[in-house]
Chain A
Amino acid sequence: MLYEAVIGLEIHVQLNCPTKLFCDCANTSSEKPNTHICPTCIWLPGRIAQLSEDALEKAALTCLALGCELSPKSAFDQKVYYYPDLPKGYQLSQHHMPLAYGGWIEITGEDGKLKRLRIHHVHIEEDVAKLVHETEGQTRISLVDFNRAGAPLVEIVTEPDIHSPHDAMAFLRALRTRIRYAKTAECSMESGTMRCDANISLRPAGSDAFFTKVEVKNMNSVKAVGSAIAYEIQRQEKLITEGREVVLHTRLWDPDKNVTVSMRDKFAGPCIPDPSVTAIRMEPERIEELRKQLPEMPAQKQHRFSEQYGLAEEESVLMSLERDIADYFETLAEKGVNARNAALWISSRLMPALKERKQEISRTEMTPDRSSELLFLIEKEIVNPKQAREIMTLMFESGKTASQIADEKGYRQITDTTELQTLLDAVLEANPDAVEKLRAGKKETAGFIIGQAMQKSGGRANPKTLSALLSRKNFT
């Protein structure tokens, strides 16, 4: 019997707000524990949660970026569980009336076909404290750091539309792109600003009846989500094939051993509406205002790039993947750089160079202004592509302009036909054998002649002009 996996994801995204969700403490990590805390985020009696306007706005923008429908009214619940990371015995979350419903993300499935993966809802919740387990002499101790407690999170809960590790990873990447476009969160699984739990169950292919689901946590990269799901599918398949029972529980992904291991469940309780936290009302006018803040999203951008700039599909996908890349590309295009050249330059030259130098495209010293000057030198055939690469390296190092470097290095291409004719004649004279071969119709020898001429010019000769001059010789 063949089994099909049914996967639902729960993704926590930490919003990049300056303050926590319910108080004015800084929403930043700190080396020193318990430095960003106040009576509200350690929940002393009598303190009241004050919902941050900024967090609400960023949460709402995130929902709009995911195509969700904002609820006219949403409210907070006390999600009860007892654990030392949660000193008030409940987490403020939205269970009964979440911030938004619906929405979907389109991905390309393994078969190359487009798939629409639906989002069930998005709600706001506070993060809990961080537990640090240590030993003091022989005694095991647990310490609590409240710096993270109360950090603003949105939780995105998908419909169980995902059926493979590939889909889950593609979903996460697309989700991340969209949220980064909205600039509401960093979404880094590595640094913990995006966390993903996966609920995985199997069912006989074509059937509606599921086996028991298992929750997997603790994946610290998109790839790890894929690996953990793949492992879990195999593990459950084996259990079912052997006639053993799949038990409802939570497992942790162990990235060192590449396996999931069983974890004891937290004592999870119900959700009690909390009237002491303000309810959220989203008037249609406010939603419209928020919508205006939202930038053009990746799919629209990709479409527009193809239409407006004539990019090939792959180029437009690459150029719209990140908002900062798209902005960089568009600045170059607006400066008059040939769009396809700009796209090629960004993806094959600039991005690898930035990665090597650990620079971000939005903040690099290789600004669109400087890049465009270099690209114009290439377009006007003043420098050739090989020289351009070297110039770019020197631009990173020196801060000089492309023209300055081209001049200093004597890189300007020789395009003067008289000069090139003399050069070519000298090469032909020095290589009578090659000339013989050309006369005999061996066209590949032309490459050798041009190579020799390029070498003789110190790489400065314009190869296209040389080639044209050679073909005019009519050896055949």
Chain B
Amino acid sequence: MNHNTEDLFCYTNPTPDTSSREGRLNNLRVAVRPNISVCKWPAQAGSKALENYHPAEDATVVERLKEQGAQFTGMSKMSELGFGIASDTTHLIVSENQSDLVLGTDVVGEIRHLSIMAGAWGYKPSFGICSNLGIINLVPSMECVAVIAKKPAQISDVLSTISGKDDRDFSMVWENLPDFTPQSGKADFPVYKIGFLSEQINGLSKSERSAFKIALSELAGKGIQVEEISFPDYALFKKIHQVIGATEASSSAGKYDGVRYGHRNENAANWNEMYLSSRQEAFGPLIKSYLFQGAWFQFKNYEAFEHACRLRNRLIKKTGDVFGKIDFLASPVRCGEMDASRAESIPATYDAFALTLIANVTGSPSLCVPGIVKNGEMDLGLQLTAPHLSDVKLLDFALGYLA
């Protein structure tokens, strides 16, 4: 079923063909989720709290794509502040061929889920390799720009354009940045080792598990070594993400007060009341409960937040140990039991995105491939996660074996 443009986009570019620049991305049609700034476009991030907010400049990633001749089509509809995908049309923009590529942010795995729903490739790069300037983020330590593309080669093209140092974002990784420029005359591929976590796969249904194992055995048939690894702390990823994510969200959403932009209750008697009622009216139920949880950790149980930060460091280290033994970690992107597009509570959201959280907690790059792990009609998506900053190796592998 094809939708009308206005059902898919919250804003369409009235002058999509104006890009006169010649570059290697000529004719690439790019849509963005509206938490990525495009100069003068409404960056509402799916929230009344950002009503009428029009950034005065492009996000660095947008600016760089424009410089290479990409055409910006418009903005998709998105779930509030980029958390979850319940109100998203982002995947439909790709599946209905309204754009070739979508840029969004990935907090718990949104872009990766949407890519599989679109039958396309999804990519969350290593944390810190793309500038965050102009990105309206919610969970700054877990969230980054991510891409949905129809073809895997487009991911490398786009990443080579948008990644890399930005003098206006000092928080980026400054050393050992991946070099996405295509290398000619590459040596033969090494023997790759792919691992999967027993604890993660045990949570799938029997048929999902077998669909995943079939996909792995096909990879093994291509000469790839497959290894099962036990990771007893696996359950912590969800808990750690939730505590830190909610706390950071509460802190970073503190700026949405309805004063300079965004919904404001005009009838409040004083400023405290104005803040309270404006925020109460602006946020939807999912974000509101996430912010409440975060506020609870901030003000009532700060020790839990600090503890979660320590545990996160431990998880990053242990994941690093796993990557000492294998090249990539494989899993499905989603499972059938929890439908992310229907997840409208915090527990449901975390359950639905459980399989994609590792990359957000550890800052690892993660690639999602459609059409390989199929449980009947449902494409579960194959997710490959690699060590931080090994983006090029991951994309090379995908192009060599999976494209």
**A residues whose Cβ falls under 8 Å from a Cβ of B:** 39, 42-51, 78, 80, 82, 84, 87-90, 142, 269-270, 272-278
Bound-state CA distance A142–B134 (Å) is 30
From the candidates A88, A142, A276, name the one contacting B140 in the complex (CB within 8 A): A276
Q: Which residues in B have their C-beta under 8 angstroms from that of A89? A: 251, 253-255, 257
Q: A79: nearest residue on chain B (CB-CB)? A: B251
Chain B residues within 8 Å of chain A by Cβ, number: 40
Q: A275: nearest residue on chain B (CB-CB)? A: B141
Is B257 a contact partner of A87 (Cβ separation < 8 A)? yes
Chain B 99-138 interface mask (CB, 8 Å, partner A; 1/0)? 0000000000000000000000000000000001111110
- How many inter-chain residue pairs (CB < 8 Å) link A and B? 88
Is A269 a contact partner of B299 (Cβ separation < 8 A)? yes
Is B254 a contact partner of A90 (Cβ separation < 8 A)? yes
Is B136 a contact partner of A46 (Cβ separation < 8 A)? yes
Q: Which residues in A have their C-beta under 8 angstroms from that of B192? A: none
B280 to chain A, nearest CB (A): 14
A sample of 20 cross-chain residue pairs with beta-carbon separation below 8 angstroms, ordered by A number, consists of: A39-B56, A44-B55, A44-B260, A45-B55, A46-B43, A48-B132, A48-B168, A48-B169, A48-B171, A49-B170, A51-B170, A78-B251, A87-B257, A87-B260, A88-B254, A89-B255, A272-B305, A275-B141, A276-B137, A276-B171
Q: Which residues in B have their C-beta under 8 angstroms from that of A90? A: 251, 254
B240 to chain A, nearest CB (A): 14
Bound-state CA distance A51–B170 (Å) is 8
Chain B 19-36 interface mask (CB, 8 Å, partner A; 1/0)? 000000000000000000
Is B255 a contact partner of A47 (Cβ separation < 8 A)? no
Bound-state CA distance A82–B247 (Å) is 15
Q: Main SS of the interface on chain B?
A: loop
Q: Which residues in A have their C-beta under 8 angstroms from that of B88? A: none
Q: Which residues in B have their C-beta under 8 angstroms from that of A78? A: 251-252
Bound-state CA distance A68–B261 (Å) is 43
**B residues whose Cβ falls under 8 Å from a Cβ of A:** 37, 43, 45, 50, 53, 55-57, 59, 132-137, 140-141, 168-171, 247-248, 250-255, 257, 259-261, 271, 275, 298-299, 302, 305, 309
Bound-state CA distance A272–B306 (Å) is 9
Q: B172: nearest residue on chain A (CB-CB)? A: A278
Is A80 a contact partner of B55 (Cβ separation < 8 A)? no
Q: Which residues in B have their C-beta under 8 angstroms from that of A274? A: 140
Is A276 a contact partner of B255 (Cβ separation < 8 A)? no
A131 to chain B, nearest CB (A): 10
- The answer to whether A273 and B260 touch (CB under 8 A), given A46-B136, A50-B170, A88-B254, is no
Q: Which residues in A have their C-beta under 8 angstroms from that of B55? A: 44-46
Q: B127: nearest residue on chain A (CB-CB)? A: A275
A280 to chain B, nearest CB (A): 10
Q: Which residues in B have their C-beta under 8 angstroms from that of A276? A: 132, 137, 140, 169, 171
Is A46 a contact partner of B134 (Cβ separation < 8 A)? yes
Bound-state CA distance A39–B133 (Å) is 12
Q: Which residues in B have their C-beta under 8 angstroms from that of A47? A: 133
From the candidates A48, A87, A270, A275, name the one contacting B255 in the complex (CB within 8 A): A87
Is B260 a contact partner of A142 (Cβ separation < 8 A)? no
Q: Which residues in A have their C-beta under 8 angstroms from that of B171? A: 48, 275-278
Q: Which residues in B have their C-beta under 8 angstroms from that of A49? A: 170
Is A273 a contact partner of B141 (Cβ separation < 8 A)? yes
Q: A80: nearest residue on chain B (CB-CB)? A: B251
Bound-state CA distance A82–B298 (Å) is 13
A24 to chain B, nearest CB (A): 11
Bound-state CA distance A50–B132 (Å) is 12
- The answer to whether A48 and B251 touch (CB under 8 A), given A84-B271, A89-B257, A275-B171, is no
From the candidates B43, B137, B168, name the one contacting A50 in the complex (CB within 8 A): B168
B51 to chain A, nearest CB (A): 12
Q: Which residues in B have their C-beta under 8 angstroms from that of A80? A: 250-251, 254, 298
Bound-state CA distance A87–B256 (Å) is 8
Is B254 a contact partner of A48 (Cβ separation < 8 A)? no
Q: B36: nearest residue on chain A (CB-CB)? A: A46
From the candidates A51, A87, A273, A278, name the one contacting B309 in the complex (CB within 8 A): A273
Q: A142: nearest residue on chain B (CB-CB)? A: B271
A88 to chain B, nearest CB (A): 4
A407 to chain B, nearest CB (A): 63
Apart from A45-B136, A80-B298, A269-B298, 7 more pairs, CB < 8 Å: A78-B251, A80-B251, A87-B255, A89-B253, A269-B299, A276-B137, A278-B170
Q: Which residues in A have their C-beta under 8 angstroms from that of B59? A: 46
Bound-state CA distance A51–B171 (Å) is 10
Is B170 a contact partner of A270 (Cβ separation < 8 A)? no
Is B53 a contact partner of A45 (Cβ separation < 8 A)? yes
Name, among A44, A80, A90, A278, the residue most crowded by chain B CB atoms within 10 Å (CB to CB).
A44
Is B260 a contact partner of A275 (Cβ separation < 8 A)? no
From the candidates B133, B254, B309, name the one contacting A82 in the complex (CB within 8 A): B254
Bound-state CA distance A82–B168 (Å) is 27
Q: B37: nearest residue on chain A (CB-CB)? A: A46
Bound-state CA distance A349–B79 (Å) is 74
Q: Which residues in A have their C-beta under 8 angstroms from that of B168? A: 48, 50
- 7 tightest Cβ-Cβ pairs between the two chains A and B: A89-B254, A278-B170, A88-B255, A275-B141, A45-B136, A46-B134, A272-B251
B365 to chain A, nearest CB (A): 17
A58 to chain B, nearest CB (A): 18
Bound-state CA distance A42–B261 (Å) is 12
Bound-state CA distance A270–B294 (Å) is 11
Q: Which residues in B have their C-beta under 8 angstroms from that of A87? A: 255, 257, 259-260
Is A270 a contact partner of B299 (Cβ separation < 8 A)? yes
From the candidates B133, B251, B271, B299, name the one contacting A46 in the complex (CB within 8 A): B133
Bound-state CA distance A47–B134 (Å) is 6
Q: B128: nearest residue on chain A (CB-CB)? A: A275
Bound-state CA distance A455–B378 (Å) is 117
Is A272 a contact partner of B247 (Cβ separation < 8 A)? yes
Q: Which residues in B have their C-beta under 8 angstroms from that of A269? A: 298-299
- The answer to whether A275 and B140 touch (CB under 8 A), given A45-B55, A89-B257, is yes
Name, among A142, A269, A270, the residue most crowded by chain B CB atoms within 10 Å (CB to CB).
A270
Q: Which residues in A have their C-beta under 8 angstroms from that of B133? A: 46-48
Bound-state CA distance A274–B139 (Å) is 10
B134 to chain A, nearest CB (A): 4
Bound-state CA distance A273–B141 (Å) is 9
Q: B140: nearest residue on chain A (CB-CB)? A: A276
Q: Which residues in A have their C-beta under 8 angstroms from that of B253? A: 89
Name, among A50, A142, A273, A277, the residue most crowded by chain B CB atoms within 10 Å (CB to CB).
A273
Is A270 a contact partner of B257 (Cβ separation < 8 A)? no
Q: Which residues in A have their C-beta under 8 angstroms from that of B257? A: 82, 87, 89
Bound-state CA distance A269–B294 (Å) is 12
Is A45 a contact partner of B305 (Cβ separation < 8 A)? no
Q: Which residues in A have their C-beta under 8 angstroms from that of B50? A: 45
Q: Which residues in A have their C-beta under 8 angstroms from that of B53? A: 44-45
Q: Which residues in A have their C-beta under 8 angstroms from that of B43? A: 45-46
Q: Which residues in A have their C-beta under 8 angstroms from that of B298? A: 80, 269-270, 272
Q: Which residues in A have their C-beta under 8 angstroms from that of B140? A: 274-276
Bound-state CA distance A51–B167 (Å) is 11
Is A46 a contact partner of B135 (Cβ separation < 8 A)? yes
Is B136 a contact partner of A270 (Cβ separation < 8 A)? no
Bound-state CA distance A277–B56 (Å) is 21
A157 to chain B, nearest CB (A): 19
Bound-state CA distance A400–B136 (Å) is 66
Q: Which residues in B have their C-beta under 8 angstroms from that of A45? A: 37, 43, 45, 50, 53, 55, 136, 255
Q: Which residues in B have their C-beta under 8 angstroms from that of A48? A: 132-133, 168-171
Q: Which residues in A have their C-beta under 8 angstroms from that of B137? A: 276
Bound-state CA distance A80–B133 (Å) is 22
Bound-state CA distance A277–B55 (Å) is 20
Q: B301: nearest residue on chain A (CB-CB)? A: A270
A37 to chain B, nearest CB (A): 11
Q: Which residues in B have their C-beta under 8 angstroms from that of A46? A: 37, 43, 55, 59, 133-136
